[in-house]
Amino acid sequence: MARSKRIQPADIPVVILAGGRGARLMEETVSIPKPMTLIGNKPILLHIMQYYRSFGFRQFFVLLGYKGHAIKEYFLNIHKYVADVRIKGAQMSYEYDSATLMDMDINLVETGEHSLTGTRLARTRAHLDGPHFCLTYGDGLSDIDLKAELDFHLRHGRLCTMAAVHPPARFGVLKLARTGRALFEEKGRARHDYINGGFMIFRREFLRRLPASGNYSLEGEPLTRLGGDGQLYCYRHEGYWQCMDTMRDRETLEETYLSGQAPWTRPAPSS
């Protein structure tokens, strides 16, 4: 009997929710959608896509909403932003170096300006025809081992795997002794609590659970019911994770990227 083909990252589409307004980032998002906010020299959306690409994922579905035209304009002209350019002679003819362009298949899907996350995903059903798909938000970066998470997902066989991450602490921590002596630790990671860090993987059957009408959040009833049905498993990630909810978050990501030590830019582990 011939063995079935082992599922590889290249076989699995990555869906990115990129339609939100980013109300707490209004300084940045008056004219662009939140995922187009620059971290260093490129949008956080491209950082996320390149991170997935480093693990072998190459099919992307970007779900558009608020000011989605800005995302379309960027990717329609992506060579201007990421490719090397050669300019020749007095006539200034030029060509882009194809070797520096991204090896990705990118689908930009209109899902409604005011749609919530569950509705956006439901409106993408017709585009997703494989047995599995990844789903993440267009505003978070991590150094999660996506290949290890995929292996975990395929082993347990349930409908959903969610990356469980430690949220960044907002305040310094005091460790108190009974004597009154204290130790102070600067802001770090909350060591005991876990939250949904995005970077989810679903079996396609999950799409049949989504209501066909109405405007609803994925994080509400659909995921809550998955947990109640025993169909939600978590892949624990103890490493780096940072969302971009506020200007302070954006500045933190910017400083990390400009330091040259951004965890999400490190090479993916070899398989």
Are 136 and 200 a contacting pair, CB within 8 Å?
A: yes
Q: Any idea what the CATH number is for the domain that residue 204 is in?
A: 3.90.550.10
pLDDT tens digits, one per residue of 14-32 = 999 998 876 666 666 677 8
Domain membership of residue 271 (yes or no) is no
- Count of domains observed in the chain: 1
Domain membership of residue 182 (yes or no) is no
Closest C-alpha among 129, 79, 95, 123 to residue 213: 123
Band of residue 64 on the pLDDT scale cut at 50, 70, 90: very high
Query: 15 pairs with which residues across the strands?
Result: 61, 135
Domain membership of residue 212 (yes or no) is yes
Segment among 21-35, 72-86, 107-121, 122-136 with least mean pLDDT: 21-35
Mean pLDDT of the chain: 87
Domain membership of residue 3 (yes or no) is no
Instruction: Give the sign of the dihedral formed by CA 116, CA 119, CA 124, CA 128.
Output: positive
Domain membership of residue 16 (yes or no) is yes
Domain membership of residue 183 (yes or no) is no
pTM of the model: 0.87
What pLDDT does residue 177 have? Answer: 61
Spell out the long-range contacts of 29-34 with Cβ–Cβ below 8 A and sequence spacing 24 or more: 29/66, 29/67, 31/67, 31/70, 32/67, 32/70, 33/64, 33/65, 33/66, 33/67, 33/68, 33/70, 33/71, 33/138, 34/66, 34/138, 34/139, 34/244
The domain containing residue 150 runs over which residues? Answer: 9-162+194-261
pLDDT tens digits, one per residue of 132-183 = 999 999 999 999 999 999 999 999 999 999 999 988 876 555 556 666 565 5
Residue type, 146: L
Domain membership of residue 140 (yes or no) is yes
Domain membership of residue 4 (yes or no) is no
What pLDDT does residue 80 have? Answer: 83
Dist. CA 207–CA 126, nearest whole Å: 10
